[in-house]
Structure 1
Amino acid sequence: MTFPFSADSLVKDIVNEIPKTSDVFKKNRIDFCCGGNIPLTQAASQHGLDMNTLLDELKVVFEKYEHAEKDVEVWTDSHSNTIIDHVIQNYHRASEEELKNLSPYITKVSRVHGDNHPELIIVNELFYEFKKELIEHMEKEEAVVFPLIRQLEDGTVPNREEAIQMIVELEKEHDHAGEILRQIREVTSDFALPLDACGTYRLVYARLEALESLTFMHVHLENNILFPRYL
């Protein structure tokens, strides 16, 4: 798929199509929310930005979006080390980046709209619980469990039962992460937007849903393809 945006594309339409482009606009101090109903060329001019550089930054986000994993079943026959490397690069790093970038939006929407939409206060609490647990979970995978799985694969693991028990613990942590995401979806009524939702409000819901999908694919690769090889 070719890059779908041009200098004439409206800022708000770009964010609606690919929510993570909001990070580019935020970095360049372009209002994609209330002031997003202007073409990209006008936004660049207002902020003294080079149009080609701005388009290049958006293309980087688009390419990541376009090449996102869509059919993880192709990994069924891959070597465990290949899967581990893929998870770290394409799920751990992506999740860390998104958790960091999404946090200020979550906080802002909760603070601005929480009085009229108290469910956002709950979303804020659940998101930060999810963020803390997922970061700790990924750190444990990389520092402890993935090295053990590599040892299980090549037959050098010092204690097989202990390694398997740690894999079981990871699965339990996956279940808890999934429960937090379920609660977020429940309290937002499946990310249903109220009539007074502003652009940032819409952005938060879109990116939360995308984070849910990213997490589910991450868990699928581990629970359904990698871990069963050793359990």
Structure 2
Amino acid sequence: MTFPITSNSLVKDIVNELPKTSDVFKKNRIDFCCGGNIPLSEAVAQNGLNMDTLIAELNVVFEKYENAEKDVEVWTDSDSNTIIDHVITNYHRVSEEELAALSPYVTKVSRVHGDNHRELIKVYELFYEFKKELIEHMAKEEAIVFPLIKQLADGTVDNRTEAIAMIVELEKEHDHAGEILRQIRAVTFDYELPLDACGTYRLVYARLEALEGLTFMHVHLENNILFPRYLS
């Protein structure tokens, strides 16, 4: 996929195609919600920006998206250390960044539209439960379980039974995170937007769905490729 953004691309279309570009627009004070029906060139002119610099920032988002879409089958033949490093870089750090960036949007949409769309109150509650649990889960993986897996891989682990039990515990946490995401999908009717959904409303649903995909790929690498090496 070639870089799809040009100076003639409409701001709203860019965000619809790559929801995380909304962070770039917010940083540059470009209205992608109500004022998004203008080409990028006009937005640049209105805000006194440099087109090349803005395009470069948007390209960073695009490249992250492309990297996240890599075929994970290649990891079946990779050693455990390589998989762990890949998970930390491409899933832990990316998830932390997205959870932090998405939080204010979820809060805003819930506050502004929650009276008319009560499901958004539930989305708010579920999102922050998911955020808390995933951050704690990733921290435990990096501080405790991944080092144990590396010791299992090289045969230096002190207590194999305890290490295996920690991996099983991670799988249970994965199941619970997946259940929260399934509840979000259910309460939003598969991210179906109401007729009165504004740009930010649409953005939240798009990024929540993308976060779901990111999390499922994260879990797939661990549950189906990394962990079975030590649980079998």
TM (norm. structure 1) is 0.99
Letter in 1 for 2:149: I
Which ranges in structure 2 are unaligned for 5 or more consecutive residues?
none
Q: Where does residue 101 of structure 2 map in the other structure?
A: 101
Superposition deviation, residue 80 in structure 1 = 0.5
Letter in 1 for 2:48: G
> What is the CA–CA distance in structure 1 between the aligned matches of 2:2 and 2:225, rounded to whole Å?
32
> What is the CA–CA distance in structure 2 between the aligned matches of 1:76 and 1:181, rounded to whole Å?
26
Superposition deviation, residue 71 in structure 1 = 2.0
Which ranges in structure 1 are unaligned for 5 or more consecutive residues?
none
Q: Where does residue 119 of structure 2 map in the other structure?
A: 119
Superposition deviation, residue 67 in structure 1 = 2.2
Q: Where does residue 57 of structure 1 map in the other structure?
A: 57
After superposition, residues 1-231 of structure 1 pair within 5 angstroms as 1-231=1-231
Name the count of aligned residue pairs. Answer: 231
| Alpha-carbon displacement from aligned partner over 1:133-187 (angstroms, at most 9, x marks no partner) | 0000000000000000000000100100000000000000000000000000000
Superposition deviation, residue 31 in structure 1 = 0.5
Letter in 1 for 2:152: L
The range that moved more, 68-77 or 177-186, is: 68-77
> What is the CA–CA distance in structure 1 between the aligned matches of 2:151 and 2:69, rounded to whole Å?
27
> What is the CA–CA distance in structure 2 between the aligned matches of 1:182 and 1:70, rounded to whole Å?
24
SS in 1 for 2:77: coil
Superposition deviation, residue 3 in structure 1 = 1.4
Superposition deviation, residue 64 in structure 1 = 1.1
SS in 2 for 1:67: helix
Superposition deviation, residue 77 in structure 1 = 1.2
> What is the CA–CA distance in structure 2 between the aligned matches of 1:104 and 1:19, rounded to whole Å?
15
> What is the CA–CA distance in structure 2 between the aligned matches of 1:102 and 1:143, rounded to whole Å?
25
Letter in 1 for 2:65: Y
> Where do 4+ consecutive residues of structure 1 move more than 4 Å?
none
TM (norm. structure 2) is 0.98
> What is the CA–CA distance in structure 2 between the aligned matches of 1:156 and 1:77, rounded to whole Å?
22
Superposition deviation, residue 63 in structure 1 = 1.2
Superposition deviation, residue 69 in structure 1 = 3.2
Indicate the RMSD between aligned Cα atoms, in angstroms. Answer: 0.7
Letter in 2 for 1:79: D
SS in 2 for 1:151: helix
